[in-house]
């Protein structure tokens, strides 16, 4: 079912709790926005009570070496840039059914976008229904093919120049004209980026027979293609059907061709050079920018004083073609070079500023930061003076210095990542120094003389963690989604997931969310049919029971994915409408809501939004609720589920959910309440209170018996990271801006799931910024959820470190977040 900036590096190791610290609380250190006060988004620090410190500061780049030997030059550095560029091309499929000299027909699949392409494919045979894949017979597999589990093949595409000299990538699949294969199913994968390319959210489906019974040969539409019809978006010429022939899918076509546009994102390397020259006569600094990026380039920038890293707008005059951005920063358009090789600009700044912080903006969605550490660029405008540090004796300045030291250590350690550790002792020394400095900084912040505001943030804020309840479990839960959109294709997912139980437990996960278990019209499980039939595309009921037992033995609880909003019927009524149900729960059309025109229900009106792909169930009916409560209790006892992930809860009143949960008594429950955030003229609003209010209202309707996925926080993180608008991470009262800021114990935070990511990609998290998202949710209250695809990827080690920090510091779903500012 779908500015100024700061950044948070992953901490390799956290400090031990400082003496007197209360474990499990988190500090968000930032200037509170308010009337007449600029929101100091670039200068934030995330501080974990108990000693752990995560630094989040604008301009936290490691300051490169200056060149004092150059007269008047304070700073000069050439920074590499990496930007994402969209390349448009096309994919195509061509069926040549005319046999060659060897009596073989062929299908050619290709694309014209540069990259390392792989065809991920399978087949469907004559007479098969649905969209399950089978592996093709060995004789039709091209050279270089490798098997993927027991349902697919991956074959590399081969690049070669076409007649126009452009590089194209193609693969030929040869088959006998009497092959029983009816359909070639495939998606394309670009190995260098790991990106998947589908058609309309589904597989490409190429018919080798005259038509497809389930519709569009190039995608997921369900319209019927009649004999002799030409599929939309393709060039297919079926043979004429034989008189008296009753089936449309037995004849081979003599020709088929279809193509589809492909958009691929790729990275381009550029640079930006910054030079600062000090002029003692004018008491000003000359700042020069130079980049090889052509086209429009804007520097989004501000200045700071006294090494505070707090963005300010410099006094006028400002450079030409400069505008003030929301009273927080300046945006200056660079000037194109006369030779067309890039852009440049230079301007003067008063000498009373200590530094300049900037990012580059190419368009509304492309912002470039320091690729070495992911932070904004920080440029010193003065030579550092050690005597200034020696004169500072107030506690806030002490803390700034300590945090700066920690920041440099973390950046230094991060810069060595990807290299083999030649001196492990040195790295261990760095980690120990981080711990020592963090503990010292923490003790200073705990001093009663610090002038700070510590507001209670949450509506449920007890001094200790509450006992276990269905909304939160123990309060220390860390959830892993144990599947993606493709998991059903193996047919043995329960077995495969069970093999990873010990590994997931060792990583620190306490709950795993398993896929929908019931018989379903769709192989992914979200179109349930016979609720008591738990033999699904993921495995048998016995394999499911074994899976749950394996996780229980590893100390991990298991959530079942319960689809209660809608159900697919097994029989038609007298009007030919599918609204009569079979199996053990054999409802008639009284179980269907009356206001869904597609399914002619005789129940009451819906208590929520309708899901139009299947009959929406009327939960106001006593017999419906009684049957569903009995079913949930049966699954708790029969399968051993510990709780529920509830699908599409936007479709029915939360009060019914309360009824179901009080009956089935889950250890943990979370609902998927997903709707659109607030936008004005295509721009995401800063204030998302209306969006999170709808989620909180649903949770409240359940009487807090269930939590909900914090869709608000996910959306805000998207914009904050994509556009470096980190001021969005604090609401108007200085609190976290999502459900996390209002009802943290019921907020299940996440950055990706099977709908938003995987091969669906309905709302994919910004590429390359996944770890920044996980740093946020794993160091904040709420219950964090980590996506399967991220756990079993190159991100695993960093995710494991963050989970370790969270557990060591006892951060829980009700940990406090303090927004601190100096008066």
Catalytic residue positions, numbered: 647, 672
Cα distance between residue 52 and residue 375, in whole Å: 20
Task: Give the H/E segment covering residue 467.
Answer: none
**What whole-number distance in Å separates Cα of residue 783 and Cα of residue 645?**
13
The two counts, helices (H) then strands (E), for the chain are 13, 37
Q: Please name the residues in contact with 333: beta carbons below 8 A apart, sequence gap of 6 or more.
A: 296, 297, 298, 321, 322
In the block, which residue shows the tokens 């939004």?
Answer: 609
Q: Provide the 8-state DSSP code for 242.
A: P
Task: Give me the half-sphere count of Cα atoms (radius 13 Å) on the Cβ side of residue 181.
Answer: 30
The answer to whether the beta carbons of residues 815 and 24 sit under 8 Å apart is yes
Contact (Cβ atoms closer than 8 angstroms) between residue 52 and residue 227: no
711 in Cβ contact with 777 (< 8 Å)? no
- Is residue 561 classed exposed, middle or buried when 0-12, 13-18 and 19+ CB atoms within 10 A define those classes? buried
| Contact yes or no for 581/570 (Cβ under 8 A) | yes
Query: Do residues 549 and 511 lie in contact, with contact meaning Cβ atoms separated by under 8 Å?
Result: no
Q: Report the distance separating Cα 472 and Cα 561, nearest Å.
A: 17
CA 580 to CA 574: how far, in whole Å?
A: 10
Which three-class secondary structure state does DSSP give residue 198? coil
| Cα 595 to Cα 605: distance, rounded to the nearest angstrom | 5
Distance CA 649, CA 628 (A): 15
CA dist 263 and 188 (Å) reads 12
| Residue 25 near residue 50, CB atoms below 8 Å | yes
d(CA 320, CA 333): 8
Q: At 771, is the secondary structure helix, strand, or coil?
A: helix
| Bridge partners of residue 142, in order along the sequence | none
SS3 of the chain: helix, strand, coil, percent, to 5: 20, 30, 50
Residue 454, burial from CB neighbour count under 10 angstroms (0-12, 13-18, 19+):
exposed
Strand, helix or coil for residue 775 = helix
The two structure tokens encoding residue 119:
């065809």
State the Cα–Cα distance between residues 91 and 173, nearest whole angstrom.
16
Using CA atoms, how far apart are residues 348 and 336, in angstroms rounded to an integer?
A: 19
Which phi and psi (to 5°) does residue 679 adopt? -130, 150
Which of 606, 581, 577, 589 is closest to 519 using CA atoms?
581
Q: Is the bond leading into 342 cis (omega within 30 degrees of zero)? A: no
Sign of CA dihedral 387, 393, 394, 399: positive
Q: How far apart are CA 263 and CA 177, in angstroms?
A: 34
Exposed, middle or buried, 689 (CB in 10 Å: 0-12/13-18/19+)? middle
CA distance 264 to 771: 22
CB contact at 8 A, 778 and 812: no
Count Cβ neighbours within 10 Å for each residue of 760-796 and write b for 16 or more, e otherwise: bbebebbeebbbbbbbbbbbbbbbbbbbbbbbeeebe
Helix (H, G, I), strand (E, B) or coil at 257: strand
């Amino acid at each position: 079912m779908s500015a100024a900036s700061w950044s948070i590096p992953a901490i390799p190791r956290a400090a031990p709790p400082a003496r007197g610290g209360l474990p499990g609380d988190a500090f968000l250190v930032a200037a509170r926005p308010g009337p007449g006060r600029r929101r100091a988004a670039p200068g934030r620090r995330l501080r974990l009570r108990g000693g752990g410190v995560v630094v989040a500061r604008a301009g936290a780049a490691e300051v490169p070496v200056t060149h004092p030997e150059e007269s008047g030059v304070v700073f000069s550095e050439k920074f590499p840039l990496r930007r994402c560029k969209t390349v448009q091309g096309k994919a195509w499929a061509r069926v040549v059914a005319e046999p060659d000299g060897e009596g073989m027909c062929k299908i050619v699949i290709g694309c014209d976008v540069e990259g390392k392409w792989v065809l991920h494919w399978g087949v469907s045979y004559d007479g098969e229904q649905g969209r399950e894949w089978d592996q093709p017979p060995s004789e039709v597999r091209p050279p270089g093919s490798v098997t993927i589990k027991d349902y697919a093949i991956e074959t590399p595409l081969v690049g070669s120049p076409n007649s126009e000299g452009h590089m194209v990538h193609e693969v030929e699949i040869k088959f006998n004209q009497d092959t029983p294969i009816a359909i070639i199913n495939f998606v394309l994968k670009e190995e260098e980026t790991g990106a998947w390319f589908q058609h309309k959210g589904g597989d490409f489906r190429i018919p080798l027979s005259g038509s497809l019974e389930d519709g569009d040969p190039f995608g997921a539409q369900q319209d019927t293609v009649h004999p002799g019809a030409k599929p939309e978006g393709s060039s297919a010429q079926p043979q004429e059907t034989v008189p008296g022939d009753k089936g449309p899918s037995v004849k081979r076509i003599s020709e088929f061709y279809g193509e589809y546009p492909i958009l691929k994102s790729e990275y381009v390397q550029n640079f930006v050079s910054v030079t600062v020259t000090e002029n003692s006569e004018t008491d000003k600094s000359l700042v020069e920018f130079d980049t090889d990026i052509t086209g429009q380039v804007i520097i989004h920038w501000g200045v700071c004083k006294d090494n505070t890293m707090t963005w300010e707008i410099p006094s006028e005059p400002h450079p030409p073609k400069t505008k003030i951005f929301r009273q927080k920063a300046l945006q200056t358009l660079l000037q194109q070079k006369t030779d067309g090789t890039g852009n440049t600009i230079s301007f003067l700044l008063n000498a009373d500023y200590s530094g300049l912080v900037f990012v580059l903006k190419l368009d509304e969605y492309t912002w470039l930061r320091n690729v070495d550490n992911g932070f904004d660029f920080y440029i010193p405008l003065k030579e550092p003076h050690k005597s200034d540090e020696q004169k500072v004796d107030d506690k806030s300045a002490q803390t700034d210095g300590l945090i700066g030291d920690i920041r440099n250590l973390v950046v230094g350690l991060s810069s060595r990542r990807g290299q083999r550790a030649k001196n492990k002792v040195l790295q261990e020394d760095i980690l120990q120094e981080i711990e020592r400095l963090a503990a010292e900084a923490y003790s200073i912040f705990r001093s009663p003389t610090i002038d700070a505001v510590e507001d209670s943030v949450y509506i449920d804020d007890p001094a200790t963690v509450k006992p276990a309840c269905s909304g939160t479990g123990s309060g220390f839960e860390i959830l892993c989604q144990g599947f993606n959109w493709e998991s059903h294709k193996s047919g043995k997912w329960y077995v495969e997931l069970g093999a990873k139980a010990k590994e997931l437990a060792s990583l620190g996960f306490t709950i795993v969310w398993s896929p929908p278990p019931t018989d379903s019209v769709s192989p992914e499980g979200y179109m349930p049919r016979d609720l008591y039939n738990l033999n699904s595309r993921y495995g048998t009921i016995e394999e499911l029971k074994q899976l749950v037992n394996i996780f229980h033995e590893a100390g991990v609880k298991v959530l079942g994915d319960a689809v209660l909003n809608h159900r697919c019927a097994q029989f038609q009524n007298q009007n030919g409408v599918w609204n009569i149900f079979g199996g053990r729960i054999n409802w008639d059309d009284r179980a269907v809501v009356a206001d869904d025109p597609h399914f002619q229900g005789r129940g009451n009106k819906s208590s929520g939004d309708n899901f139009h792909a299947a009959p929406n169930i009327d939960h106001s009916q006593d017999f419906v609720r009684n049957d569903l409560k009995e079913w949930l209790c049966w699954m708790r006892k029969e399968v051993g589920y510990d709780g529920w992930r509830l699908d599409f809860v936007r479709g029915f009143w939360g009060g019914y959910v309360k009824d179901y949960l009080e009956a089935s008594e889950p250890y943990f429950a979370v609902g998927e309440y997903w709707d659109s955030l607030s936008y004005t003229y295509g721009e995401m609003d800063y204030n998302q209170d209306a969006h999170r209010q709808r989620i909180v209202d649903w949770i409240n309707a359940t009487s807090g018996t269930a939590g909900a996925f914090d869709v608000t926080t996910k959306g805000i993180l998207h914009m904050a990271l994509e556009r470096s608008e980190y001021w969005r991470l604090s609401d108007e009262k200085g609190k976290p801006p999502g459900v996390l800021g209002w009802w943290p114990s019921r907020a299940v935070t996440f950055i990706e799931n099977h709908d938003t990511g995987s091969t669906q990609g309905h709302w994919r998290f910004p590429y390359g910024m996944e770890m920044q998202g996980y740093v946020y949710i794993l160091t904040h209250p709420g219950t964090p959820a980590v996506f399967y695809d991220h756990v079993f990827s190159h991100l695993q080690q960093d995710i494991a470190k963050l989970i370790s920090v969270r557990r060591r510091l006892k951060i829980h779903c009700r940990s406090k977040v303090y927004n601190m500012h100096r008066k």
